[in-house]
A and B are shown apart, each in its own frame.
Chain A
Amino acid sequence: MPQNSETKSLPWGLTPGAFAAWAAALLGLACILLTPVFPWLVKWPAALTLPMTDWIGSVVGWFLSVLKPAARLFSAGLGYPMLWANWLLTATPWPLVIGVVTAIGWYLGGLRMAALGLGGLSFVLASGYWIESMNTLALVAVSVPLALMAGLSIGILAYEFPRVKKPVQGLLDVMQTVPTFAYLTPLLFLFGFGPVVGLIASAIYAAPPMARNVLLGLERVEDDIKDAAVMSGGTRRQQLFLIEIPAAATQIMVGVNQCLMAALSMVIIAAVIGGFNDIGWEVLLTMRKAQFGQSFLAGLVIVVFAMVIDRMSGALAMERRRYDLRVIGLLMAVALLFTLLMGSSLPNPSDYAAFDPTAAVVDRALGDFTAEYGLALDQLKNTILFYVMLPLRIGLDNAVLPFTWGFMWTPAMSMIFLAVAATGGVALFLTGRRVAGAVLLLLAVTVETGVAELPWAFVIGGAGLVGWVSGGRKLALFAASMLALILVSGLWDRALLSLYLSGVSVLACTAVGGATGLLCAVSPAAWRVVRPICDMLQTIPLFVFLIPVLMFFQIGEFSAFLAICAYAVVPMIRYTRHGLINTPEEMLEAAVSSGATGWQIMREVRAPYAVPTILLGLNQTILYAFSMLVIAALIGTTGLGQSIYLALGKGDVGLGLGAGAAMAILALVADRLVQGFAEEKRRALGL
């Protein structure tokens, strides 16, 4: 850690990190010891709670009711293009649709993409979900142009007017951290029930990635190119539209790709509002009826859809070859001929159910499997639940009960436990491992009390101290005041529950993802296996993750935990591997010529160099975990996610937005803290 001016004033020559860790640990210890005397240290007095959700509800509610007439008009207006898109996609004979998609595939990426389009849509057709899929596609087809236009305009605006850039970037940050469900409640209020809400929600959700990439792309256009446009005598508008935007095309296409994927994901999530016969609704319906075979099949259709859209739009951002346009004509001719020949005898796409037997088999096999191994599965679930998750949630003092652990945790045990930890901590401190000692004590405090019952003073103080180490006084103030906002709003208990579940998931992801990333960095063979899995996991809309977990572990916290991990582990793997692989060649040569072995190079050269990258991966993992947390509320979690979901059902705008904002605050604070560390490490390495 770099010696800064603040170091000098710290007692015993402690580094800022060690100082903060010890301050936090002692604060925690003090809070625990004082709780019996001052119970308000743990539980914020209700008298001091401000009814913020009510305030938000009435202010936003008033605001929304002003907007409502215009919004209703807008949604009525949007109804038409949606109907047309819907009609176009469902009324067009399916061979034509498949033909067009295959032709687009050919145009974008030649034989491979054409085959992907043909194969993907044939699967959809054979699954019997053709109509539902086309309905979903219609939603995407209308929401994406809206999102693209909005994103493009925002991006250009932020680029053209430096003064609005900062606020716009902040807004984009917030928009991407506010959980998807939180959007839905006010939108429902504004636009009324129906598919248009899903459409607008997905347009709102999909616009930020587009805006971000447009801004990034424009900023990255070489200065010489911009200057050349000026010197050619272009007006500002000519420079922008004839030169800068086309020159940024590659990055903008990345934006289009992300925009499409976000829209698809949101359209499917929005199905929880119901009222539209789309594929997301189908998944939800079958899931509720516990028809896991069908649900799995519908989920697969979504995955196939996502793959086709992702790979094809991804091809837009690659350097493109020109493919023979005659092939497109040929494909269209074949599709048309086929349609005409079959004429009215063309079977109804919904009649296909080629996989229904398979679904039934899956159902039966699943039934047999759970009958056979249900006990083992339950045991696995219960072990993790009772011995890992529960103690972390409510603490050893409450989790250790005679019927699970075999004995009762007594206050005396708490004292002994803490005393041992404190002794260990002090011993470590005295032998020079100062940070390690504090961390031991911190862990002991957390495990003893449980995350959900941590004293608020400890959480807010601790976050402030971490902020101070990571980014100085400003960040400390930001972290502490943001969390304090949640505290006084009365959402604190739920926020701690969310913090706990995402914390456990992030810990698991860090361990598993880090190890997998390391393995993939060492062994290319492992990466060849892991990589397509990662690609796949990142393409699948969040919603679909719930299906397989539910199949095996039923509704509950454990299933939510698994779903979150499955989604959030990917960035950890990718960034760890990337960081470890991308050590500069000269550094490796220098290490080799110093006589280092492979593992020594890994430990002494590659790993330290990779730290900033790995921290960024951790950051991504945290954000992923938070966004999945809300989706996982569908299958039973407590905390903020549940509140947002409940608010959606009750149409409670205040609660929905308040809980959404609390969630966003948690995510933002975590994001800034980790980014601060990453930034500092990068500076220390001179990157």
Chain B
Amino acid sequence: MNDRSSAPAAISCKGVWQVFGHNPEQKLKAALERSGGDAGSAAANLRKDGLIPAVQDATFEVKEGELFVIMGLSGSGKSTLIRSISHLIQGTAGEIEIDGENILAASKKRLIELRRHKLGMVFQHFGLFPHMTVAENVAFPLKMQGKNKKQRRQRALEVIKLVGLDGREGAFPRELSGGQRQRVGIARSLAVNPDIWFLDEPFSALDPLIRRQLQDEFLNIQATLKKSIVFITHDITEALKLADRIAIMKDGEIVQIGTPAEIVLHPVNDYVAEFSKDVAKGKHARVSMVMDGENPVPGNMPDDPGLRTNMTIDTALAKCMELYEPVPVWDGEGKQAGFVHPSELAAALQVEAD
């Protein structure tokens, strides 16, 4: 995670607005002028005028190979945001760069080009073409690229195998279960081997068991493919399980961006804290978040339970059950990174935002 902060940005959004209603560009400009650039009051003014500021002033970056999750309740604007980034809808204001190219300024032709080679997307309700077989569905983006039949077939079978659907390539979508359908959706979005992968609540329409299974497989796929991902969900557990970083949205506004541990341990406000309330914090927070790495290490620490920086707090606590003195913490290369008092480990789980 940390090593990625220096990686170049795959997607970079600066001050992105998506306003619905009559004549949104003009009205947004006027509202921003009136509020002196303050996004919050500009949005409030737009609402008063009967417009809907679905996304307000969104600014963030997705690094290459990063799995970036946008989380929020329904109506928070997360689906709108991913649609602005993928340019399914035309953003009202701001800059969206994909690999350094401002796609808000891109021509129609260039956009088609980008979609044919660089972008892939998975949809909540799958969006499978009902009149095509699994193989034809998966091969459709390749057909748009202009690949011939044989190449299409070969690549389609490859991706179908990757998502574990081999043998069903001749089936029609209506003959598949929900989980299988989304596998087809995933396969189709990967067919052109895109660099950027958008997933819009891909698992929300599935049963809990199937959902977990697909999440695990998704993580496996990502471990080998290393795509730059924007992933939308309304489920905090899903977000914490999958994300490198999470952006939490509320009423069109991004309220916090951080790693799962940061979100759980240091929520910026009650709204974020409310989400992580029911989450077992010990499973997501790591020892590195609570250890003391700055102060000099105390001279004699009698016990060394072998804590490591990337251990979850739950695991670390289990090792310190009988200990009451500070213990050392080791990093991945075996060097001492700092120390922690077992009572602080326990206290970290009680954190509530004020």
A residues contacting B by CB (< 8 A) are 222, 224-235, 238, 242-243, 246-247, 249, 319
Contact = CB atoms under 8 A, between A and B. Distances in A.
A232 to B, nearest CB: 4
Contacts, number: 66
A319 B128 CA distance: 17
Interface in B52-102: 83, 86, 88
Contacts of B120: 231
B292 to A, nearest CB: 48
B144 A234 contact: yes
Contacts of B174: 319
A235 B129 contact: no
Interface residues of B, number: 31
Interface string B116-156: 11011101111111110000000011001100000000000
B130 A247 contact: yes
A228 B131 contact: no
Given A224-B123, A224-B124, A238-B144, A231 B129 contact: no
A246 B145 contact: no
A322 to B, nearest CB: 12
Contacts of A249: 131
Contacts of B127: 222, 224-228
A63 B9 CA distance: 66
A111 to B, nearest CB: 24
B125 A231 contact: no
B308 interface: no
5 contacts: A222-B127, A225-B128, A227-B121, A227-B123, A230-B115
A249 B132 CA distance: 12
Given A232-B144, A233-B112, A222 B131 contact: no
A233 B130 contact: no
A233 B189 CA distance: 11
B140 A232 contact: yes
Contacts of B123: 224, 227-228
A242 B143 CA distance: 11
Nearest to A221: B130
Contacts of B119: 231
B151 to A, nearest CB: 16
Given A224-B127, A228-B129, A247-B131, 19 more contacts: A224-B124, A224-B126, A225-B127, A227-B83, A227-B123, A227-B127, A228-B127, A228-B188, A229-B129, A231-B88, A231-B115, A231-B121, A232-B144, A233-B113, A233-B115, A233-B117, A242-B140, A243-B129, A319-B174
A225 B121 contact: no
Contacts of B144: 232-234, 238
Contacts of B125: 222, 224
Contact of B129 (A230, A247, A319): A247
Among A222, A227, A232, A233, max chain B CB count under 10 A is at: A232
Contacts of A230: 88, 115
Nearest to B114: A233
A668 B227 CA distance: 58
Contact of B116 (A222, A224, A227, A233): A233
B88 A233 contact: no
Interface in B181-212: 185, 188-189, 192, 198
Contacts of A227: 83, 88, 121, 123, 127
A177 to B, nearest CB: 33
Nearest to A224: B127
A238 B146 CA distance: 12
A230 B192 CA distance: 14
A234 B86 CA distance: 14
Given A227-B121, A238-B144, A232 B115 contact: yes
Contacts of B189: 231
Contacts of A247: 129-131
Given A224-B123, A227-B121, A228-B123, A246 B116 contact: no
Contacts of B117: 233
Contacts of A232: 115-116, 140-141, 144, 188
B6 to A, nearest CB: 30
Contacts of A235: 112
Nearest to B174: A319
A37 to B, nearest CB: 54
A233 B141 contact: yes
A230 B129 CA distance: 12
A235 to B, nearest CB: 6
Contacts of B129: 225, 228-229, 243, 246-247
A538 to B, nearest CB: 29
A242 B113 CA distance: 18
Contacts of A229: 129
A658 B119 CA distance: 59
Interface in B277-328: none
Among B120, B144, B188, max chain A CB count under 10 A is at: B144
Contacts of A222: 125, 127
A319 B119 CA distance: 34
A234 B174 CA distance: 23
A228 B116 contact: no
Interface string B34-54: 000000000000000000000
